[in-house]
Amino acid sequence: MTAKTIQTDRIPQELRPALQAIAAAGARLAQIIRRGGDLAAPVGTNADGDGQKALDVIADDLFRQALTGTGVRWLASEEQQEAVALAPEGRLAVAIDPLDGSSNIDTNVSIGTIFSIYPAEATAEASFLRPARQQIAAGYIIYGPRCAMMVSFGDGVQHYALDPDSGGFRLVAARQDLPECAFEFAINASNYRHWPKPIRAYIDDCLAGCDGPRERNFNMRWIASLVAETHRILIRGGVFLYPSDTRKGYERGRLRMLYECAPIAFLIEQAGGGATDGCTAILDQGAGTLHQRTPFVFGSAEKVARIAAYHELPETEISALFGNRGLFRA
């Protein structure tokens, strides 16, 4: 990889080859997306039984090839059942969702790539099935009207943007902080009837607007692309909720701990926000399997803490919230 794929002066030396590879593959994938074609064609299912589209497979191949020879020993991908061994002498382990939001490919809505980096251990299990706070880097690339990369090495969040002329990512902001005050929440409201009572109570209080206990009017957003939701929240604040629910297969949420929630939680905390499973910080947990799922709540720290407080109430008090009273005053 050439040095121009991303500015390297703020990237730790030992991570530069891997980050240059990710940036180069991301720039190439952005070109493929802009060119179009039948990228949303179904091609089968991935390791966890979700439908795969043509662009999912293209992205998986791109990042695996790019990361070969960059000091990465283990690569765990959403599209592969098991972790792949790239180099026995490698010192890094990369977990990646090569293409997040693939349901949006054919509608030209923002999609992305999410990645996480750990120190490599002797086995893939030891490398990835560990506390999420042991990440040494995490980030995402968003393929939108402007292709951008957010990345953290444990000292704040850096914001890069793809220069279409040079094909490289240039630094936009050395420190991207999450705005504290935004009256927006992101959730798929069509699943309201399946949610746990604390989530329903929180959303009810938001929807009550100025006449409710929050005494504020809120806007709802839902893009169905974790990267796009994260990028909006990092830029202008708010909160995202993907709770567990009563449907079969959703009892522990739908987002994967290792290569979706853990890296996003790392970024959000580094930007000054919070990220939990509704109650417990994501970074205080770890994946028990490569494709383990978890409920996920992240965004402005105050809002994430408020949602956790709803979960801490006794059942009798939660039930009372479905009357005319709410839980908190603004």
pLDDT tens for each residue of 168-210: 999 999 999 999 878 999 999 999 999 999 999 999 999 999 9
pTM of the model: 0.94
User: Is residue 179, in this structure, part of any structural domain at all?
Assistant: no
- Residue 180 DSSP class: S
15, 67, 86, 99: which one is catalytic? Answer: 99
Instruction: Verify whether residue 251 is a known catalytic residue.
Output: no
Instruction: Verify whether residue 245 is a known catalytic residue.
Output: no
> CATH no. for residue 204?
3.40.190.80
Instruction: Verify whether residue 155 is a known catalytic residue.
Output: no
What 282-286 contacts at long range (C-beta under 8 Å, 24+ apart), as own/partner pairs, is 282/132, 282/257, 283/131, 283/132, 283/133, 284/131, 284/132, 284/133, 285/131, 285/132, 285/257, 286/129, 286/130, 286/131, 286/132, 286/257, 286/262
User: Is residue 295, in this structure, part of any structural domain at all?
Assistant: yes
Which residues, at least 6 apart from 202, have a Cβ–Cβ distance to it below 8 Å?
241, 306, 307, 310, 327
pLDDT tens for each residue of 45-91: 776 677 899 999 999 999 999 999 999 999 999 999 999 999 999 99
User: Is residue 112, in this structure, part of any structural domain at all?
Assistant: yes
Instruction: Verify whether residue 312 is a known catalytic residue.
Output: no
pLDDT tens for each residue of 244-269: 999 999 999 999 999 999 999 999 99
- Same-domain pairing of 55 and 127: yes
pLDDT tens for each residue of 142-160: 999 999 999 999 999 999 9
| CA 282/CA 57 separation, integer angstroms | 28
75, 86, 100, 283: which one is catalytic? Answer: 100
- Nearest partner of 230 among 327, 141, 168, 134, judged by Cα: 141
- Same-domain pairing of 165 and 100: yes
> DSSP string of 220-235?
EE--S-HHHHHHHHHH
Written as six digits, the tokens of 269 are: 């905390």
User: Is residue 328, in this structure, part of any structural domain at all?
Assistant: no
Instruction: Verify whether residue 284 is a known catalytic residue.
Output: no
State the distance between the two ends of the chain, measured CA to CA, in whole angstroms.
51
> CATH no. for residue 109?
3.30.540.10
Could you identify the residue written with the tokens 């966890």? 48
CB 93 within 8 A of CB 127: yes
Range of the domain at 194: 184-320
184, 245, 260, 277: which one is catalytic? Answer: 260
Q: What is the mean pLDDT of the chain?
A: 93
- Same-domain pairing of 118 and 12: yes
Instruction: Verify whether residue 60 is a known catalytic residue.
Output: no
